[in-house]
Structures are given as C-alpha cells and as structure tokens.
Structure 1
Amino acid sequence: MKKYLLILAAILLAAGTAALFFLKRTPEINYKTARVERGAIIAAVSATGNLSAVITVQVGTQVSGTIQKLYVDYNSRVKKGQPIAEIDPSLFRAAVEQADGNYRNAEANLMKARVTLADAERTMKRNNKLLADGIISQSDYDVAETAWQSAKTGIKAAAGSVVQTRGALMQARTNLNYSVIRSPVDGTVISRAVDVGQTVAASFQTPTLFTIAQDLTKMQIEVSVDEADISRITLGQPTSFNVDSYPEQSFKGKVVQIRSAPIITQNVVTYIVVVNVDNSDLKLKPGMTANVSIEVARRDNVLKLPPAALRFKPKTRESAAKGARPAQPEAGKGQRRDKGQRVYILKENKPVPVMVKTGISDAGSIELTGGGLKEGDEVIVEQVGGDAKKKSGGSPMGPRF
C-alpha cells in the first residue's frame, strides 16, 4: 500500500512541477499585421433626415359648408385647375340670386335718378326764362334750382349703390366658384383630410383638405448636421443615402442649401442642410427616413493605413511592470492629422517604430501623406501572446497559486 502511495505522490509532484514550469514560461509573442495599400479615401459627415417633395401645396377652402362631392383620392394625379372636391352650392347660389336682384334694383334706381335729373333740369331752364320775363318770382326759381341740384346728388347716390351691389354680386359669385375646390398645381394627391358629408369651416384659419406634391420625381431631404461638422459642408457636395425600404440600394443626391438658422434641442445645436434627390423611378416616398452621408473630402490613388496601426503600442513584461505609455488618441473621423504619428513594423520579429504623417480618414482607412512607409509594407495592428492577454484583466505579477 505504501508503494502505491509513493508512486502516486511522485506522479503528483511531477505534474505540479510541470504545471508550474508551464505557467511561468513566457508565452510566445506574435503580431498581426496589415498591408499598406493604395486606393481612394472618402471623408464624410453622417446625418439623418426625412424625404419630402420639393414643392408641397396644402389645399384648403375659403368658404364654409358641407362636402358634397369628392373627385380625387390618395395618389390621384391632378392638373392645375382640375376640380378635386365640391361644397354644397345651394346657399351660395341663393346668395348670388339675392345679390343679383339688389344689383338690378340699384341699376333701376340709377335710371330713375337720371330721369328725375333731366326733369329737374328742364324745369329749371324753363323757370329761368319765366324769371327773366317777370312771370314767376325768384323764390319759385330757387325751388326749381334746388330740385335740380338734389337730382344731381341723387345720381351720385344711385351710382354708388350700383357699385356697392355690383361688388356684393361679384363676391357672391366668387364664393359660388370657391364652392368647387380646384387643384392649384399639377401634381399628386398625397393626403386627403375630408369625406363626403363632412362640414368644413373657413374661419380664422383655412382648413387643409388635401396635400398635393407637385413633382414626386424630384425630392429633397432636410438633414440635421451637428455644429461641429457644419463648417465642412459646402454647396454642391455629393451625397449618398439609403432608406429602410431598400437597405441594399444606395441613392445619390447633392447639397443645394445650407440654412443659417440654428435648431437648438436640449442644448444641442444643429443646422438644416437640404439635399436634392432624383426620384425618376418613384421608389422613394415622402416621409421616408434617410441615412445620409455627405462627402466632404476625397483622395484618389493614395496610400491607405488601417486605423488599428495608429492605436497599436507594443506591450512587454518590462513595459507592463513600469506602466506602458498610453496610446495617442485617434483624431476624429474625417479630420486631418498634420502632426507626426508612430506606427510599428516588424524587423527580425520585433516591433520597430516608424514615424508617419496622416491626412483624412473614412470608416476603414486613413490617408498616409508622409513618413517611412511605402505601398506593400506590413504594419502591426495587434499583439497576440506575451503580455497581450494581461490587458484584459490579468495581473502583471503572474497567476496566483
């Protein structure tokens, strides 16, 4: 029995010694590298917005009443001047008849006033001769002259009444015309807010009955750009965007307006940038959310450096014990980097620093503008083994037993 116990103790001692040696052994250090390549880099500003027609007209009514007929519905194509709805015209026709009667009566009164004036004028002339012959007295002549002047005043009053009633007649006819609601533009009906039998009231604010998009083949996106990026936006910059309805397709546009009025939401300042979009195939619809990328800088046929190369700093046991110098912060996406930065290449399986100068960047590459690298060089982007695992939480003093 003692023999077996001794053998087991020997085996356990050997296993413990081997495990201790294995754990204390310095792991082999390997490095992952990436190649410096040549290509295009596009710096962009990302923003979101909603699609809308370039010109959208809200159609209302200038008179009150009950909707009697509807001639169009959603997505109906309309022409300028085409009837799209009609309000019950009964009251408006009655108002026209009444105004027309008043106008005719005023015209008759004007004609009557003219006859009265002509009679008064004849009487005054006749009395003027009789006064000269001494047949009538001056007071009789004065009465005739007063009647003539009164008849002249009556002409002006009657003429004014004619103008007034004619205006009322024109207003009644206009209101009758307004009972038929017509499209002000050529376009497509994108919304309808009324049904037959519904009463609309045109009081202080004209109600919106229809919304008509003038031309859905030309659309625009109003995107909100952060104040930190607005200085990089200029007119004419190309844009690309996608919508949730077509996630695999990218659409093109162009910046046509940069509005100066700020929009402040919870102390965040943004500015509206308008992007024009061609929608000849009518795939895009008003209201769709667009994820827009505005191209602010572009470099073609330049050397490209992976961003991970700038973040990499070699970790050794000595540097871990002394405290490695923190990596330099990477500049913001698309920003220029004019100061020299350090990357590492492998020589004899050891990282060697190389100073480089960088320019603009996109999501996956940084422009290499100067330094000791050329196309095809391999730069270190990650350390595998050695003390690399300790960065994720291991103690620099080694494992505990």
Structure 2
Amino acid sequence: MALGRTLFSRKGILLLLLLIIVVIIAWMLLPQRKAPTEFLTATVEQRPLQQAVLADGTLTASKLVSVGAQASGQIKSLRVELGDQVKQGQLVAEIDSMTQQNALQNAQAALKNIEAQRAAKQAQLVNYRAAFTRQQTMLAKNLTAKADYDSALATLSATEAEIRALDAQIVQAQIEVNTAQVNLGYTRIVSPMDGTVVSVPVEEGQTVNAVQSAPTLIKVANLDTMTVKAQISEADVIKVEPGMKVWFTVLGEPQKRYEGTLRAIEPAPDSINNDTSSLTSASSSSSEKTAIYYYGLFDVPNPQHRLRISMSAEVHIVLGERQNALVIPATAIDHIDGKTSVQVLDANQQVTRRQVVVGLNDNVEAEIVSGLKAGEKVVLSQRSAADAPAGGTEPQ
C-alpha cells in the first residue's frame, strides 16, 4: 500500500513538471505584445507672431548738456537745485565778478584816454592844416620861403599820421572793452536749453578755476524724449536696418511696452574709442577676443518723465510679424533629404510625416505657411512606455 502511494506521488510530480514546461513553451511561442509609444506633442495655434532680434539697451536723455564756467572765481550764488525745470537763457549761477568788473573799467578808461588824445590831435590838425594853407598861398606869391612851406607840410602830414595811429589804438581799445564785457558776462551762467537739472556737482561758495578747463556747474537734460542705445551683436546687426519697428520694456514695468522706430545704427562698435594699440593687440589674440556690439539708436516720447537716465531696457527689434500665423515650436521641424517636414499625430494615435513650408522662424517658434491646419498636433518627441520612468507623464 505504501509503495503504491509513493509511485503515485512521483507520477503526480512528473505530470506537474511536464505541465509547467508546456506552459512556458506556449508562452514563449505566443507573439509578444508591443509596449505602447508615448508622444510629446504640441497643438498648432493660430495667433500673432513676431520675429525679433533681442538686445540689451540703456536709456539716455535725447539731449544732455554740461553747463560750465568760463570765468574763474568763487560761486556767489547757485540759483537751481537738482530736479528743477529751467528755461533757455535762465540764470542758474553767478560767479564773483569783482575782477571782471575792474578789468572792464580799466579797458573803458584806456579807451577814453586814447579818444581824448585823438581829440587833441584833431584840434592840432585843424591848426596845422590852416597854417599849411597859408604857406601854400604865400609860396605861390613868393611871399614865403620854400623851407617854411615844407615845414608846414611835414607838420600837417605827421599830425594826420598820428591821428591814424590813434584810430588804430581806439579799435584795439574797443576790442579790449568788448572782451572785458564778455568776460564779465561769463560770471552770469545761464541755461543753454529748456530741460531738467539732472546734476549739480558744485556748491555755493566753492571756487572754480576755468584756466585749464571749464568746470561743470550743472547738467541740463531734455527728458521729454529719451534715446535708447541698444547693443546689437555682430551676428544680428546684419539683419537689422533703420526704419524697423522697435519695442522695449523696463525692469520696473515688465508688462508695459514702449514703442519706437530704429533711427540709426552706429557704423563702428563703441570699442573704437579705446586706444588703437590695445585694439590691435586684442584682435591679434583669439583667446582674448571679446564680443562685439553695435549701438542701435531710437527715440521714445517721455511726457511724464517715467523713464529715467541709465535705466536698463530689454529691446526687441522686429524683423517681421504676422497677425494670424499658424504657430508651432521650432523643435518640431525636421530637415530630411533637403525637405522640411513635421510629424503629425492623428486622433487614432497614428503618426505621419508631412512636408511644410516655414515662414517666420526665431528658433523658438515658427510660422507654418502651408502643410498644417490649426488644431492639429505635431510630434516633438516620442518614446516607448517601457522606457518611461515610474510615475512618468501620460502621453499627449
């Protein structure tokens, strides 16, 4: 009895092992189910699109004048403060004018002295001319000696020459008076333009010396119009030209656009103002080569003076724009065998490749002129679900 149960147990184990082997072989012979593919897609949108060159900009006043002193001396009065509005010709400062007043009085006295000398000579000339006339008449009648006639003529000629010399001295003296008057005028500093006082680097009572260079007393700027200097890289400068539409934002108002028109592009980089030898040295060494930028200039109205000098601006120079463009990410575009195409995912999760014509393209977004319709989905990337990490995103 025990032997029978043992044989039955061994037979059962063998049947079980055989069944397991058959199941394994059957599973291996069955076709394997392919793991589903996940697609990262983007929807074709119809909306406005701009292609623009980005540049860093700095705001400056459209006109900035340093008002200096052409006269040396102590600042007697300073009539303006920082932020004041001034008009052209308005008195802004006075320098102690005692020295200039004395110089003017001396020049005027010298002029009067020479004019008095001329008046005396003019009176003598009348007398000498009469004496010469008498000598001329008497000589014609042989009533006087030839020597007396010659003496009268010489005296008359000498007096006339002295008067001409005094006339020249009077001109010189008048010039001295005019110069002294101008120098006296230099002690009254006036604004050369309408604007805002943006800098006052001196104090009342300070002594200024205008012998070597004119010291700056104030700086006046026209803040009604601001000029933006945009740094355009050498890679982008060949794409832009005067007349293009420009807009920018500032850090304090990133949502507000200020618009303008590109007025000019400076023909040389700002580094040209550096020493020539240093430029040559830098260009000869590629390891020391720095980025080259060219300034693009444009103006923007600033009636409320919200924009200020030296503000930073994020500038967009518009190369082209469309109001109703079909827009997709630029990364969806492929270039295969000289043809431009994209992969399109349909409602049945089937992918087809379709040729397209691209319009504006800033390497971030691209306009599709033909080949797609709004609402279609283009494939950005794809991968097998088996490759996806646990907890990964669902396919789009």
**More moved, 99-108 vs 245-254:** 245-254
Residue 35 of structure 1, CA deviation: 1.3
Residue 258 of structure 1, CA deviation: 2.5
Return the alpha-carbon distance in structure 1 between the equivalents of residues 313 and 339 of structure 2.
Answer: 36
List per-residue Cα deviations over 1:352-372 (Å, max 9, x = no partner): 32222212135753101223x
| Paired letter, 1:293 | H
SS in 2 for 1:54: strand
Residue 377 of structure 1, CA deviation: 1.1
Return the alpha-carbon distance in structure 2 between the equivalents of residues 227 and 256 of structure 1.
Answer: 18
Matched, 1:202 2:201: no
SS in 2 for 1:127: helix
Return the alpha-carbon distance in structure 2 between the equivalents of residues 387 and 151 of structure 1.
Answer: 123
| Paired letter, 2:374 | E
Matched, 1:31 2:39: yes
Counterpart residue number, 1:56: 64
Equivalent runs, 1:290-369 vs 2, <5 Å:
290-310=313-333, 339-346=339-346, 348-362=348-362, 364-369=364-369
| Paired letter, 2:357 | K
Counterpart residue number, 1:245: 252
Can you give the 5+ residue segments of structure 1 that lack an aligned partner in the other structure? 1-24, 312-327, 330-337, 391-401
Counterpart residue number, 2:377: 378
Residue 264 of structure 1, CA deviation: 4.9
Return the alpha-carbon distance in structure 1 between the equivalents of residues 235 and 270 of structure 2.
Answer: 14
Equivalent runs, 1:136-285 vs 2, <5 Å:
136-214=144-222, 216-264=223-271, 266=289, 268-285=291-308
Residue 252 of structure 1, CA deviation: 1.9
**More moved, 343-352 vs 180-189:** 343-352
Return the alpha-carbon distance in structure 1 between the equivalents of residues 298 and 146 of structure 2.
Answer: 88
Return the alpha-carbon distance in structure 2 between the equivalents of residues 119 and 101 of structure 1.
Answer: 28
% identical aligned pairs: 31
Using the size of structure 2 for normalisation, the TM-score is 0.79
Cα RMSD (Å) of the superposition?
Answer: 2.6
| Paired letter, 2:328 | L
Matched, 1:130 2:153: no
The structure with the larger Rg is 2
Q: Report if aligned partners of 1:346, 1:380 keep a CA contact under 8 Å in 2.
A: no
SS in 1 for 2:53: strand
Using the size of structure 1 for normalisation, the TM-score is 0.78
Alignment CA distance shift 1:271-1:154 (3 Å): same
Return the alpha-carbon distance in structure 2 between the equivalents of residues 354 and 175 of structure 1.
Answer: 82
Show structure 1 runs of 4+ deviating over 6 A.
none
Can you give the 5+ residue segments of structure 2 that lack an aligned partner in the other structure? 1-32, 273-288, 390-396
Return the alpha-carbon distance in structure 2 between the equivalents of residues 226 and 387 of structure 1.
Answer: 46
Residue 233 of structure 1, CA deviation: 1.9
User: How many aligned residue pairs are there?
Assistant: 341
**More moved, 90-99 vs 134-143:** 134-143
Return the alpha-carbon distance in structure 1 between the equivalents of residues 220 and 339 of structure 2.
Answer: 55
Alignment CA distance shift 1:288-1:90 (3 Å): same
